[in-house]
């Protein structure tokens, strides 16, 4: 993957095939220079054309949210057993608004792709 310089992904997620795409992989990592999160999807379109989309920062976060439901397993999943309770590895953020009487609070969660969620703060 590439941002300010070439870097190795921190983890690689293998995604479900869809009607349009096969051999789907989602790589994630951090740029060693500016330390922004980077996400990159690599997949083959039904007509054999490879597609590579790279996103960084908040767009990387959005990309992870978009594809999180398609993840089958990750390259690091075997190691994960040690870290069951808290979100592990690359996290993405979710904001949930919760109604409490007349007030609406925004709860910020850090999520991973194994279904773990941790409340970070309430706004």
Which residues bind to Zn ion, rule: CB under 5 A? Answer: 3-4, 31, 33-34
Looking at the Cβ atoms of 20 and 34, the one nearer to Zn ion is: 34
Q: How far is the CB of 57 from Zn ion (least distance, A)?
A: 9
Going by C-alpha positions, the residue among 102, 76, 96, 98 that lies closest to residue 88 is 76
Looking at the Cβ atoms of 4 and 72, the one nearer to Zn ion is: 4
Residue carrying the six token digits 């990309």: 63
Q: How far is the CB of 36 from Zn ion (least distance, A)?
A: 5
CA 64 – CA 5 distance, rounded (Å): 21
Q: How far is the CB of 5 from Zn ion (least distance, A)?
A: 7
Going by C-alpha positions, the residue among 63, 19, 20, 18 that lies closest to residue 41 is 63
């Amino acid at each position: 993957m590439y941002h300010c310089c070439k870097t190795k992904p921190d983890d690689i997620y293998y995604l479900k095939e869809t009607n349009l795409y096969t051999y789907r992989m989602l790589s994630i990592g951090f740029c060693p220079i500016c330390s922004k999160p980077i996400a990159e999807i690599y997949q083959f379109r039904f007509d054999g054309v490879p597609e590579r989309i790279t996103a960084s920062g908040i767009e990387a976060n959005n990309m992870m949210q978009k594809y999180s439901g398609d993840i089958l397993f990750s390259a690091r999943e075997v190691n994960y057993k040690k870290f069951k309770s808290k979100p592990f590895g690359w996290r993405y953020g979710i904001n949930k608004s919760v109604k409490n009487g007349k007030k609406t609070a925004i709860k910020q969660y850090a999520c991973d792709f194994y279904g773990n969620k941790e409340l970070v703060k309430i706004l």
